[in-house]
Amino acid sequence: MESPSLSSIQAQLQACHSKEDTFRTLVTLSKTLPRLSNDEKADEHKIKGCESAVWLIIEHNHTDFPQFKADSDAKLMRGVLAAILSLVNGKSTTEIQAMDLSSLMSSLNLGSYLTSSRTNGVLAILDKISCR
């Protein structure tokens, strides 16, 4: 499945009016996130503090446009990752560094899927993708 654009993800999530809608949308989004290979799911790529296992890889490939890859063993988390990565996919390092990721995150309408015990993990993910 092709990675949906940020605006389409925002539209899908903003159309959710219940926790259940958001759950289903995240599960659908999870299918758009390409899976990592077993080699890529190495400990060095693991994000600490998540309830589920999360791996995040940033490849720079000698260009100014980093490539983001992520995976999780939980579908909800893969949905969340698909949404988060849509914020930075296709952007240059300079553009990403100038972004206010946490307020962009609020625009995704992920609500309680970002709060409580998941927060630590998501903060660590944002920190890593911010390219600072």
Partner 1 sequence: MFDPYSIRQEFPILQQPAYEHELTYLDNAATTQKPSRVLERILGYYQTANANVHRGAHFLSDRATSQFEQARQTVERFIHAPENGQVIWTKGTTEAINTVAYGIEHLIDPDDEILISSLEHHANLVPWQQLSFRTGARLRIIPFTSDGKWQAEYANYFSDRTKIVACTQVSNAIGVQLPIKEVIQHAKNVGAMTLIDGAQAIAHYPVSVSELDCDFYVFSGHKMYGPTGIGVLYGKTDALESLLPCQTGGEMVLHVTYQATEFNILPYRLEAGTPNIEGALGLAAACDFLQQHDQEAVLKWEQSLAEKAYSILENTTDIEIFSPKKHSTLISLSVKNTHIMDLNGYLDSKGIAVRGGSHCAHPLMAQLGVSGTLRASFACYNTMEEAEHFANTLLEAIELLQED
Contact residues: partner 1, CB under 8 A: 18-20, 22-24, 27, 31, 51-52, 73-77, 113
**Nearer CB in complex with partner 1: 22/109:** 22
The amino acid present at 77, given as its one-letter code, is M
Choose the catalytic residue: 13, 26, 29, 50: 50
**Nearer CB in complex with partner 1: 83/88:** 83
The least distance separating partner 1 from the CB of residue 119, rounded to whole angstroms, comes to: 14
Active site residue 131: no
The least distance separating partner 1 from the CB of residue 76, rounded to whole angstroms, comes to: 5
**Nearer CB in complex with partner 1: 21/64:** 21
Cα 106 from Cα 18, distance rounded (Å):
16
Contact 29, 46 (CB under 8 A): no
The least distance separating partner 1 from the CB of residue 68, rounded to whole angstroms, comes to: 22
Residue ranges of alpha helices (H) inside the chain are 6-14, 19-30, 75-88, 93-97, 101-106, 119-129
Cα 1 from Cα 91, distance rounded (Å):
21
The least distance separating partner 1 from the CB of residue 20, rounded to whole angstroms, comes to: 4
**Nearer CB in complex with partner 1: 52/89:** 52
The amino acid present at 108, given as its one-letter code, is L
Contact 64, 85 (CB under 8 A): no
* Active-site residue set: 50
